[in-house]
Structure 1
Amino acid sequence: MLLAWIAFNFSHVNQCADGSKHKIAEEIRKIGKAKVLACIFTFRELAVATNNFSFDCLIGEGGFGRVYRGYIESADQVVAVKQLDRNGLQGSREFFSEVLMLSLVQHPNLVNLVGYCADGDQRILVYEYLSNGSLENHLFDLAPGQQPLDWNTRMKIAVGAAKGLEYLHNFAHPPIILRDFKASNILLDERFNPKLSDFGLAKLGPIEGKEYVSTRVMGTYGYCAPEYAMTGQLTTKSDVYSFGVVLLELISGRRAIDLDRPTKEQNLVAWAEPLLKDGQKFTLIADPLLEGNYPVKGLCQALATAATCLEKDAETRPLIADVVTAIEFLARPKDNQIIDAD
């Protein structure tokens, strides 16, 4: 019933126009499993909150649209306001999916949905504001004087992100496959606690004995699991593969795809694959910005976990719960004393 309802509303969301904001709220209540009661904002309220979507408030921009820092005076709350591109059906699909998914889940490692706006053709999402931005901003192309993340913080982010996925896979009903897990979709609060964001491409996982969800291949090149890219068959193990890519990014400080590097180093997984087969070469993968300040045993454990997540055969990859177990201790400073790699 839930899957049929979602399919129906995806096909009708563009026809809702001004009544869509009420329809969305009504239908979410009908599910009976909503954990988050999102506020419904008018376009005017969000225009005021962002100083009329001022350039000075702009904090992010991508193919989906723009993100602004805003202030909701009635709630005395700083928020992130994501204004989706109004062109095309896909924007409405992603908007509806995100409102639905984030209304069904609540966890410390998932971003909180404050509310949304569906006035006319406007599709706007309002989240809690996370002051440290995305993981991507702290790993790659650092600004002059910007301090790189230390080893313990990187492992803290890895564990928190894995716990967010674990909740989606094992505790959400039905399970949710994020489908676009990547560094730019991991947001960080003032203490660098990670929260998964951007549920626009998320899919409800297989139910009723099915092993996978058949869907149009979407996501980000460099993070997609090979079997999903080839067949469109999506499982929770697809997210596990993407987690392996991000874990490798955290360890190496390299992007999943970096066309500015030499040809053989442009694809992170392909570059790391031969090094992951030889434990004596593990230190060659570590981010030079760490300057050797990491525990060699911890590095080996983290890379061994990444390697299992990146197995080409999905069935041989671990469950995300097993990944959490494997790396959780790496984020505990008392058990993770820094030992110079040299």
Structure 2
Amino acid sequence: TLGFFSPGELNRRYVGIWFSASMDAVVWVANRDSPLNDTAGVLEIDGAGRLFLLDGSGLTVWSSNTTTGGSGTPSSAAAQLLESGNLVVVRDDDESNGAVLWQSFDHPSNTLIAGMRLGRNPQTGAEWSLRSWRSPDNPATGDCRRAMNTRGLPDCVSWRGDAKKYRTGPWNGLWFSGVPEMASYSDMFTNQVVVRPDEVAYVFNATAAAPFSRLVLSEAGVIQRLAWDGGSRVWNVFAQAPRDVCDDYAKCSAFGLCNVNTAATLFCGCVQGYVPVSPAHWSMREAAAGCRRSTPLDCRDGGATTDGFAVVSGVKLPDTDNATVDVGATLEACRARCLATCSCVAFAAADIRGGGGGSGCVIWAGDIVDVRYVDKGQDLYVRLAKSELAAANKKRGSMLKILLPVTACLLVLMCSIFLVWICKFRGRISECSIATVETGITRQSRFYGAHQTN
């Protein structure tokens, strides 16, 4: 529905678009920073396709920035609200075939609905981003912004002023690497990142079975996917971000790794091969200084090196602002390229479609930030000195020497208990030789001793 509305109890009127089933679900506001202060107001369109909002005195409060796109000034134009919720202005003459001159989808407020874009045009600099309301009853432009970061691999970033507050992680061909739950509702919403010379944008569309849905940026900078429940006539929170402390941007600083399940230790740790820059600060639960490499890399002229890589699995990939991306490279070529570059500290696959280790290449030089564990996370290959890799392998070997005998003992104990239970169940416990069970344990113990000696 397109019309006038007044949020809250204040005497301010706006032109907006909302869901017909829910008048309070405003998805677009024309004059968000220029409200009408009385009940008079008229929305008009001129022959050139420009929209004007006039107050009671006939003064222009708001107007669209309609352009003809180099096709000449139209002799007439018409405005239409589509079923998608997009207000479009089209040429209304025989020659143009209804060419679009302006559309509200190109000028989002705080809400993204199916078919809208979040992104930018690299050629013109035009951007499609969300800006929060100032308060729940004031649609004026607020402090928070949601935009598509087009440097490196595309991802969505939430800002408060000039500070990054949250990042989805880069698009990996299926979902944003820090939002794997997108896969769980792919039967209702199709998610896509379009990458073309004139457009880098995220867009979602709804399937026929999907409920009404909207992505809303709140005044606090929280992005929520709301879904309409027609039965109870309420908007349910389907998903939201940030979800927890590990979603706070760069929570653990440079080379830090956030784990929401380690609250007892600050949530933060260092990636393998790194140690806290300031252990004293970390002991006070302050990770701002981040982590530093514990052993220097072996980087020589000509690319010869003894360095290798440790795999950090199940993570949201680091910020790719300053990363180098080659979507056509293989993962093995990416590894070789990283080893041949002294500044390379880590690499990962750019696209996980097709199985295996993925394809494409993302190389980080300098600090890596904003890494956290997530379900269905990706593999990050961190470059380490040979001695660090050897120490890690030795540690894993020691753990195996402990875990294998312990596991075997538990299996024998479980089998013994099961055997006793079977005998008791059959009512022949007296016929069952407990000695047999004991002998089995003794023999197994001798086997462990031999295993440990070898």
Normalising by the residue count of structure 1, what TM-score does the alignment of the two structures yield? 0.23
Larger radius of gyration: 2
Q: Which has the higher strand share?
A: 2
Q: Relative contact order (alpha carbons < 8 A, sep ≥ 6): 1 or 2 greater? A: 1
- Give the TM-score taking structure 2 as reference length: 0.19
